[in-house]
Amino acid sequence: MKTSIYAACALAATVLLAGAPAKAATDEVGGSYVDLLALNLKYDGRPQASSIPREIVDFDQKYAPGTILVSSKERRLYYVLPEGKAIRYGVGVGRPGFEWGGAQAISQKREWPAWTPPSEMLKRRPDLPRHMAGGPENPLGARAMYLGSSLYRIHGSNEPDTIGQAVSSGCIRMTNDDVVDLYERAKVGAKVIVMR
């Protein structure tokens, strides 16, 4: 009898949690490991692992809570919290020739967004589809936050191994579980500062 991926992952979660102290059943930024595992399974049955953990860090910059800062050099995104803290996420950033910096605001948010490659991208990659419905195979992943009227977004990825690298055409990539977490926190109108 074959074991389903869900049963295998549930078994793995049980094994992981069995040896952990009760207090460790939640991560630093909220949500139980079982909840996070279930969230990962919603995408396509495969956990969205990343070698860059999401964590709360000291952050003494003078930005208002709710501001998002992206450090392209660090390949990290900071969501500013009150009292000198921020949530730090690993991200993928623009590859050489596609780096950018500046300030934008989140103009809209979408769950499981559809993707229509811009004409500039289609000139470089005529093999790309002209439109792709939202879903696990879509390169925008589980969530997208659009940055002003620019072509750029903060979005999920169906390629979690690209997080921490400079591989995109300028968009900020996150694992699907991290982008869902940020999506729930960030508001339309939030300031986004990208530092090269």
Catalytic residues: 155, 171
The yes-or-no verdict on residue 41 having pLDDT over 70 is: no
- Burial class of 14 by CB neighbour count within 10 A (0 to 12, 13 to 18, 19+): exposed
Decide: 78 and 52 in contact? Cβ < 8 Å: no
Could you tell me the pTM of the whole model? 0.74
Whether residue 50 contacts residue 157, with contact meaning beta carbons closer than 8 Å, is answered with no
Q: What is the mean pLDDT of residues 21-42?
A: 36
Question: Domains of the chain, with CATH numbers?
Answer: 5-44 (no CATH), 55-195 (2.40.440.10)
Determine the Cα–Cα distance for residues 76 and 61; give it in Å rounded to an integer. Answer: 15
Summarised one tens digit per residue, pLDDT across range 89-146 is: 999 999 999 999 999 999 999 999 999 988 988 999 999 999 999 999 999 999 999 9
Lowest mean pLDDT segment, chosen from 43-47, 56-60, 84-88: 43-47
- SS3 of 31-52: CEHHHHHHHHHHHHCCCCCCCC
Can you tell me the distance from the alpha carbon of 70 to that of 172, in angstroms, rounded to the nearest whole number?
8
What pLDDT does 61 receive? 77
Mean pLDDT (whole number) for 65-77: 97
Distance CA 12, CA 37 (A): 10
Q: Which two tokens stand for residue 191?
A: 């300031």
- Segment 56-68 shows an average pLDDT of 93
**pLDDT at site 50:** 61
Buried-exposed string 30-69: b where 16+ CB fall within 10 A, e elsewhere: eeeeeebbebbbebeeebbebebebeeeebeeeeeebbbb
Average pLDDT rounded to a whole number, residues 38-50? 45
Residue 124 CB contacts under 8 Å (≥ 6 apart), including other chains: none
pLDDT tops 50 at residue 177:
yes
pLDDT of 76: 98
Has residue 22 got a pLDDT over 80? no
Best CA proximity match to 157, nearest among 148, 168, 147: 168
Q: Which of 112, 134, 115 is nearest to 179 (CA)?
A: 112
Tokens of 87: 């949530």
pLDDT of 47 above 50:
no
Instruction: Give yes or no for residue 11 having a pLDDT over 90.
Output: no
Question: pLDDT-derived band of residue 44, with 50, 70 and 90 as boundaries?
Answer: very low
